[in-house]
Structure 1
Amino acid sequence: MGIEVSVIMISHNKYPENLFSLYALEKQTFDHSKMEVILVDDASSDETPTINNQSFSFPFKYVRCEENVGRSKIKNIGIEEAKGDILILLDSEMILEPSFVEQHYSYHQTNENLVVTGVLQHYCSYTVFYPEFNKRQRRKLLSLMKRRRKWIPKNNRILIRSRIKSGTTTKFPLFTKEEIQLERYKALSSHMPSFREVIERYGVELKDYKMPWTFVITRNISLRKKLIKAVGAFYEGFQGHGFEDWELGYRLFKYGAKIIENPNVSVYHQEHPKSKENLRDNLTNYLTFLKLHPNFDVGAWALDWIKKKSYFEISDMITEYEKIMAESPEMITNITKGLNALFYSVLNELYENRKVTNLLSISGIENNLEWKELIFKERENLINQNMGTKLVEALDLLINL
C-alpha cells in the first residue's frame, strides 16, 4: 500500500539521543513497510550526520540544513518531505513505546479531523550523562539509580557512579542499543505530566475547554497532512524557541480540527542540560502570536503569564465572553476593546522587564476619557444585569494592579 505514516523528527545537537529514539522506533508494532521516519537536522555540529550511515528496519530519510533555520522552518521541511497521509511530529529526543504509532494511526481511522496529543503520559528519562547537568538533575539521576537498582545491571551502576565521581568533562551514554530496545531506560525515568488538572476536569476529548490549542506541543502530536494543507504550515516569523506549535494549534482549532489527548501510551523525553529560560524571547514570540491573532482568547492568556488566573478560570471567562458575544455583542463592545488593550499591555510590560502596574494609563484607556467612560458604563450594566461576572473580575483585576 505504500507509506501511510510519516514520523518527522527535528534535531539540533541531540546525538546520541536522536539515535536512541530511532532504536526505539525499530520496536514499533505498526507495519514498518507503511511507516517512514524523517530526521531533519538543523545544522547540528555534533555527530548527528553519522546517523545517515546507519540502516533501520523502516524507510529512513536524513535531511540536513547546513545553516540553522529554526524550529518552524525545520518542521516545514520535514512536512514537505513526508509521503504519508498521517504525520507524527516529534522532537528527536523523544522515545516512544512500541504501540505508539499504531495507537495514533488507529485514532485517525475513525476521524480524519483529529489532532492527537500526548502530554498526560509524559516522562523524563536519563539516557545520557552530561557534565553540564545541574544539581537537581544529578540528584534525580542518582536517586533513580538507587531506588531502581535491581533494574540496572551492576556493571552499569558502577560505571556510571565512577564516571560521575571522576568529574568527567565529556558526556557518555547510559545505555546500549539493546538496552534501549529492551526499554531499560524506564528505570531512569520519572512521570512528568502536563495539564493533568485540565484533563481531569474536561476529559481526554477536552470537551468545553476553550484553549485546546495549548495542548498542541509538537514534541509529540499526530494529524493528517491535509489539515496542514488546509490551514497552512508553521509560521516562520518566530524567533528562537516557543509558541510556533501553539500558533499552528490555534489555526487548526479555529478551522474546526478536534484536538484530543491520547492517554494510552507513554513518551519519554531524554533529559539534557537545562538552559536558563529566556523570558524575553518567549514573550517576543507570544506577542508575535497575539499580533497574528489579535483575538480575545489569545490575549486572555496574559492572565496566566502574571499568574492571576488558572487555566480553568481563563477558559470559563472565554466561555462567558463567547456567550455574550453570540447573544448581545453590543453589551461589551468597549469592554472587549479595553480588555484586549490591557492584555497586550501586560505582555508588553513583561517583555520590557517592567513591573505590571498602572495599566489603565499604559493601555491608553486613561487618556481617552470617552472610551474609559463607555467601558465603565458597560461594566455597570453587566453588574446590574448579573452578567459577565468573570469579565468584570478580569477588568477590575487588571486596572487595579
Structure 2
Amino acid sequence: MFFSVVIPTYNRKPILEKCLRALEKQQLSDHKVTDYEVVLVDDGSTDGTLEWLTEHSAEFPHVRPFVQNHLGPAAARNLGVEKAQGDTIIFIDSDLVVTEQFLQSHADALVDGKEKLGDDRLFTYGAVINTCNFDNPTSEPYKITDFSAAYFATGNVAIDRKWLEKVGLFDTGFQLYGWEDLELGVRLKKLGLKLIKCPEAVGYHWHPPFSLADIPNLIDKEIQRGRMGVLFYQKHPTFEVRLMIQMTLLHRVLWGILSLGGMLNERTLAPFLQWLIDQGKPQLALEVARIFLNWYNVKGVYSAYRELQT
C-alpha cells in the first residue's frame, strides 16, 4: 500500500517541525508499505510556516506542501485527500509527533484486520497520548485521561481512500471548532466500516502547559463546539449524536451539579488552578478546569439549539 499522510496546519511551525521530522524517520520492515508521502496543507498560516518549509525542503523529501486561504481543517483535509497520490490515507494533526514504527503499525493492523474480517470495510485508529513536553514529547507515558471512545477521529487514523471518496469527505459547513471528523465517522459507520484499534501506532499530541491565560480561548472553543454540535445533530438527529454532543438532560444535570450551577467557574477556581500549576501539575489543573469548560459547552449546545427553534 502507498500511504498519504494528510496534515492540515495553521500557525504551528515549532511543533510542526517535530511532526515532520518524525515522519521522515519511519522504519518500514516489510513489503506492506511500498512508499509514502506527507501531504501538508497550510491553512493560511501567518507564522512563516511556508517560508520555513521552502528553506528546509531538502530535509523533508516526503513532504508535498499545498496552501489554501484560512478555511478551516475540514477544507484543508479535503484538499489533502484531493492532492494525495496514495491508496491509503492517514490523518494526523500538525501537533502530533509519531514513533518510528507509526506507518508500519498502521499497515500491519490494516492487513491483519482485512484478513480477520474477510472484508476491507475497516479503518485503523492509533493511540494518542497528550503531552506538554516540547523537548521530548515521545517520553510521555500513557494516562487514563488519554483514553478515547471516539469511533473516528482525525488525530491518528488510517483508511482506504475509496471509502472517503464514497462517503463524500468532510463537511466544510463545520467552520467553527469541533465535530467535523466525528460527523464523517457517522457516515462511515452507515457504510458498515469497522474500527480496528491500533495501539502500536502511537502519536504524541503536544500542547503548551495549561495556564490561566488559556481559559478565555478554551471557553470560546467550548461555545464553538456547542454550536457545531447542533449542526452535527441537524445532519444526524439521533440519540447517539445527542449523547456525543452532550445535549441530554443527563449532561445538563451532571455538569450543573459538578459546577454547582456555574458557581465553580473560571473566577472561583482560579486560585486553586494556579496552585496546581505552581505545583508542576498543569495537566491536572486543565482536567479540573473541565468542570466549568464542559458546563460552558452544554450551555452553548442548548443556546444554539434554542436559536434554531425561534
* CA distance 1:237–1:56, change in 2 (3 Å): same
Alignment partners' CA distance in 2, 1:287 and 1:353: 7
* CA distance 1:235–1:305, change in 2 (3 Å): farther
Say whether 1:45 aligns with 2:46: yes
Alignment partner of 1:352 out of 289, 303, 309:
303
The question of whether the paired residues in 1 share the 8 Å contact of 2:227 and 2:304 is answered with no
The question of whether the paired residues in 1 share the 8 Å contact of 2:18 and 2:97 is answered with yes
Alignment partners' CA distance in 2, 1:94 and 1:63: 19
* CA distance 1:197–1:44, change in 2 (3 Å): closer
Q: Which residue of 1 aligns with 2:20?
A: 22
Greater C-alpha radius of gyration: 1
Q: Which residue of 2 aligns with 1:74?
A: 76
Aligned to 2:67, the other structure's residue is in SS state strand
The question of whether the paired residues in 2 share the 8 Å contact of 1:6 and 1:83 is answered with yes
The question of whether the paired residues in 1 share the 8 Å contact of 2:179 and 2:232 is answered with yes
* CA distance 1:307–1:124, change in 2 (3 Å): farther
Tell me the amino acid that sits aligned with residue 125 of structure 2: T
Tell me the amino acid that sits aligned with residue 293 of structure 1: H
* CA distance 1:185–1:299, change in 2 (3 Å): closer
Where do residues 150-161 of structure 1 align in structure 2 (5 Å cutoff)?
A: none
Say whether 1:61 aligns with 2:64: yes
The question of whether the paired residues in 1 share the 8 Å contact of 2:39 and 2:66 is answered with yes
Alignment partners' CA distance in 2, 1:263 and 1:34: 22
Aligned to 2:47, the other structure's residue is in SS state coil
CA apart distance, 1:76: 0.3
Once the two structures are superposed, what CA deviation does each residue of 1:215-256 show, in whole Å capped at 9, x if it has no partner?
A: 322121111101101111100101221000000011101110
Alignment partner of 2:237 out of 275, 282, 294:
294
Q: Which runs of 4+ in 1 moved over 4 A?
A: 192-195, 346-350
CA apart distance, 1:106: 1.8
* CA distance 1:109–1:6, change in 2 (3 Å): same
* CA distance 1:349–1:233, change in 2 (3 Å): closer
CA apart distance, 1:348: 7.8
Q: Which residue of 1 aligns with 2:9?
A: 11
Say whether 1:277 aligns with 2:219: yes
Once the two structures are superposed, what CA deviation does each residue of 1:132-163 show, in whole Å capped at 9, x if it has no partner?
A: xxxxxxxxxxxxxxxxxxxxxxxxxxxxxxxx
The size of the alignment, in residue pairs, is 245
Alignment partner of 2:191 out of 238, 255, 258:
255
The question of whether the paired residues in 2 share the 8 Å contact of 1:71 and 1:240 is answered with no
* CA distance 1:33–1:107, change in 2 (3 Å): closer
Q: Which residue of 1 aligns with 2:138?
A: 186
CA apart distance, 1:27: 1.3
Once the two structures are superposed, what CA deviation does each residue of 1:52-93 show, in whole Å capped at 9, x if it has no partner?
A: 33224643201111x201111011000101111111101111
Q: Which residue of 2 aligns with 1:154?
A: none
The question of whether the paired residues in 1 share the 8 Å contact of 2:125 and 2:197 is answered with yes
* CA distance 1:14–1:57, change in 2 (3 Å): closer
Q: Which residue of 2 aligns with 1:126?
A: 133
Report sequence identity in percent: 26
Q: Over aligned residue pairs, what C-alpha RMSD do you find? A: 2.9
Q: Which residue of 2 aligns with 1:217?
A: 153
* CA distance 1:193–1:239, change in 2 (3 Å): farther
CA apart distance, 1:117: 1.4
* CA distance 1:191–1:250, change in 2 (3 Å): same
CA apart distance, 1:298: 1.7
Q: Which residue of 2 aligns with 1:237?
A: 173
Aligned to 1:260, the other structure's residue is in SS state strand
Q: Name structure 1 gaps, 5 residues minimum.
A: 128-173, 175-183, 199-213, 310-345, 357-362, 364-401
* CA distance 1:40–1:26, change in 2 (3 Å): same
CA apart distance, 1:185: 3.7
TM-score, L = length of structure 2: 0.70
CA apart distance, 1:260: 2.4
Aligned to 2:234, the other structure's residue is in SS state helix
Aligned to 1:266, the other structure's residue is in SS state strand
Tell me the amino acid that sits aligned with residue 238 of structure 2: N
CA apart distance, 1:264: 2.0
Aligned to 2:231, the other structure's residue is in SS state helix
Moved more, 265-274 or 232-241: 265-274
TM-score, L = length of structure 1: 0.55
Aligned to 2:241, the other structure's residue is in SS state helix
The question of whether the paired residues in 1 share the 8 Å contact of 2:131 and 2:207 is answered with yes
Alignment partners' CA distance in 1, 2:132 and 2:253: 29
The question of whether the paired residues in 1 share the 8 Å contact of 2:27 and 2:100 is answered with yes
Tell me the amino acid that sits aligned with residue 66 of structure 2: V
The question of whether the paired residues in 1 share the 8 Å contact of 2:229 and 2:301 is answered with no
